[in-house]
Structure 1
């Protein structure tokens, strides 16, 4: 009964538990759904925030499968995009990961300065205390280092400012480092979080009422659609869409026990890791990459003859030729990892002699002979994506993507007037966005009957 009441409330753009409680006493539709029961706002909020946790996604998936049976949608061709929705959190109670790093570095530097003072005091003596370890900065080691410095300066004529700094350090630095450790555990690799909702990350919002590009605590709402129905949803704590696609695709496959035939997305998802993952799953990736549109223009192809993409490659000799016809021989390869742990292989090529070359100023401005780097796997995947995107089917999907998935976000934010979460915490806001997604699907289907 409560589930029916809440979903109907979301269909009517009622999101506040107090307004739903009021509607149960005044609105005949709500009275009929509840069977004249009148749960208070605490009961409604408890059911929505706690009881539905971990269960709503299964119900949502069942509704999607019913829509498939009705012929309204299919799960073969999906359109993926993301939008940011503001969290129910204070905009000015933030913690920044970079700030924590700077503070820890500052403590380390000041400890080294204090030890330099100790060495200065003992300069004329033969015995100098053992140098402490400044590399590992944690509360226990910093406290031990401060004690060691105090012990070394015991009985010495110490500068008043140094005494004050040591007193302040002993009182504050260990506790501050414990606090920084707790904050880093909450961050989990993110750049920021909000104190009133630690799961929310500060993001730059398009819907900015102050029109000053202010960062606000928010969640990145990822959705896949078909025929303007939401087929799957997920919330991410990262500002960029690139790192969300892999988990989103796996979640979609797990939810419906079937693999989509194709996924269409904008350039925000175009990365080697995402292309590789979709290829391994056997999914056609109609996913743009950076500079895709620029490549389609005729001018851009001959715009920069010095770009590595425009240099001739000799596959037999494994070398490139610079614009002057000089060989650029292979200097080996190396691997690097992305933030997600994906391994990329980069091949390097270097020209033999760039001294005196009349094209050097235009070709490159680095010191020494020019070096170019090539990622052959990414080049192959981009070529594959380019072939798909420029095909007749690809052009059709590229045209359909904006009005398919972006129209859904427009409906949620403007027609349903849902621009800010009411609940806090990843689990609760996931339930809340699930209710919004279900309400969107049911409302759209009711209009087509």
Structure 2
């Protein structure tokens, strides 16, 4: 038989001689101590300026900042859950000195007081990392992007193409009404002309409909359906066009926006287990890292990464008054504009272009434009059969990011009877090619740089430096969707997430 079972003494109602101290319940080296130490060291004057003064007293900005940073560090993102933690969790209670802000106070601080100023706090923390020798703002950095879903309703969207089609439909129907009226009341409309597409606005359309109505007013032979159409047009078209004008202002050059979060753009998200694309309202998050620490973050309303790099690098410079010696990124950033911007700023671009990996494996494709020899002194190309292709013209092209490119055109002298014609080109006449010499030079420089010993090291290091950060944020810490709406508020969320990530890794 076994011995007598003995239980440890347990009396939850037993009084203690001295009350417990919260300080004794928080282990040394605990992340909450790191948050307190770092936030105490930063200057919160940028946040202080957001307070107007007067009225009831407010919780100190450092207390509120500690609450949010530690909340994001522990995957507690909801203001209501943060309110609960402040009242129940020993670590939060110790950090806040037993203060208990309610969820409305927490949300207002996050949405209003941190908006536009949190990046200044974030940069101070990065500078502390630099002082510790953990990161270097002057050395090479690694940049990449990911899309994070907006808090908006994913079924309430407006498309730019739909607005354009609706305008064209109104224009077409108005033309039909105009031509119908001309056939019946030509004399009344002899001094007026139909609207051009550029004139399709609420005032002009309303005026034109009034003219048509006035011309047809005393005509007995007017079709009843035309009268119904005119009544509908008078009532709805100016109102619809005014709405389209407002929607186009919100689009600001984008192809779409969400009605419940107009700052969010519909982007293709690869989220299911088969990585199938799904269109959802989202923001494009760009980060720059070093040793897996986030040094810079920006949010963008465009889904294409290459359009985000110039402003992303500009912010890096404004945050730290210095630029890195090199930027390492994947082929999504390899554009003529980005190479030119980095070159102008004196930054080495270790950035692939779209065909770099294929060229590494199989070489440059035979007969492609890139394979043609170029004589820079005399400005001509040489075709695969050795024939000169003379320069015929130079034109301009403006990219979707409003970047001006110069395009040179060359034409072969005689392709008739060439044995290579079938594989060289299939168009009628002599082969014509267009070359962007600026991009051609940038690609060659990038290729040479990427294939140096240093370039190979950076290429190997890039996926191990920046990509795991996204895995940490989205997979390990479950931040896949914003809680707040609007780019200014979502930037605050990313800022808190970035600060929390850096502090979590700093003392890990």
- The TM tier, using the shorter chain, reads over 0.9
| Residue 82 of structure 2 is aligned to residue 20 of structure 1 | yes
Match of 1:426 in 2: 487
Where do residues 20-419 of structure 1 align in structure 2 (5 Å cutoff)? 20-75=82-137, 76-122=139-185, 128-135=190-197, 136-156=199-219, 157-208=221-272, 212-297=276-361, 299-301=362-364, 303-304=365-366, 306-419=367-480
Distance 1:399 1:209 in 2: 27
Does the 8 Å CA contact 1:138/1:177 hold for their aligned counterparts?
A: yes
Which structure 1 residue ranges, 4+ long, deviate > 6 Å from structure 2? none
**Which range moved further: 266-275 or 72-81?**
72-81
Rg larger in structure: 2
Q: Tell me by how many angstroms 1:360 deviates.
A: 2.7
Give the CA RMSD over aligned residues.
1.7
2 CA distance for matches of 1:49 and 1:127? 57
The alignment of Structure 1 onto Structure 2 pairs a total of residues equal to: 443
Whose relative contact order is higher, 1 or 2, with alpha carbons under 8 Å and at least 6 apart? 1
Structure 1: distance between partners of 2:195 and 2:135: 63
Deviations 1:162-209 (CA, angstroms, capped at 9, x unpaired):
111111111100000000000011111111111111111111112247
Tell whether the 8 Å contact from 1:112 to 1:134 is kept in structure 2 after alignment.
no
Secondary structure, aligned partner of 2:280? strand
Shift of residue 316 of structure 1? 4.1
Higher alpha-carbon deviation: 233-242 or 33-42: 33-42
- Structure 1 gaps, min length 5: none
- Give the Å deviation of 1:356: 4.0
State the 1:415 CA deviation.
1.2
Secondary structure of 1:218's partner? Answer: strand
Distance 1:9 1:313, change over 3 A: closer
Change beyond 3 A, Cα 1:27–1:126? closer
Report the CA distance between 1:387 and its aligned residue. Answer: 1.1
Worse-matched range after superposition: 96-105 or 336-345 = 336-345
Deviations along 1:34-69, whole A, 9 cap, x unmatched?
111111100011111111112211111011011111
Deviates more, 1:225-234 or 1:126-135: 126-135
Partners of 2:128 and 2:304 lie apart in 1 by 32
Contact 1:93 1:194 in 2 (8 A): yes
Give the TM-score normalised by structure 2: 0.84
SS of aligned partner of 1:37: coil
Q: How far, CA to CA, are the matches of 2:190 and 2:155 in structure 1?
A: 48
CA distance in 2, matches of 1:127, 1:235: 53
Give the secondary structure class of the aligned counterpart of 1:421: coil
The question of whether the paired residues in 2 share the 8 Å contact of 1:111 and 1:134 is answered with no
Give the TM-score normalised by structure 1: 0.95
Q: Cα distance, 1:414 vs. partner?
A: 1.1
Match in the other structure for 2:71: 9
C-alpha distance in 1 between matches for 2:307 and 2:183: 51
1:126 positional shift:
10
Secondary structure of the residue aligned to 1:274 is helix
**Contact 2:185 / 2:216 at 8 angstroms: preserved in 1?**
no
Per the alignment, in what secondary structure is the counterpart of residue 53 of structure 1?
Answer: coil
Native 8 Å contact 1:236 1:244 kept in 2 = yes
Q: Which 10-residue stretch deviates more, 329-338 or 180-189? A: 329-338
Deviation at 1:375, TM superposition (A): 1.0
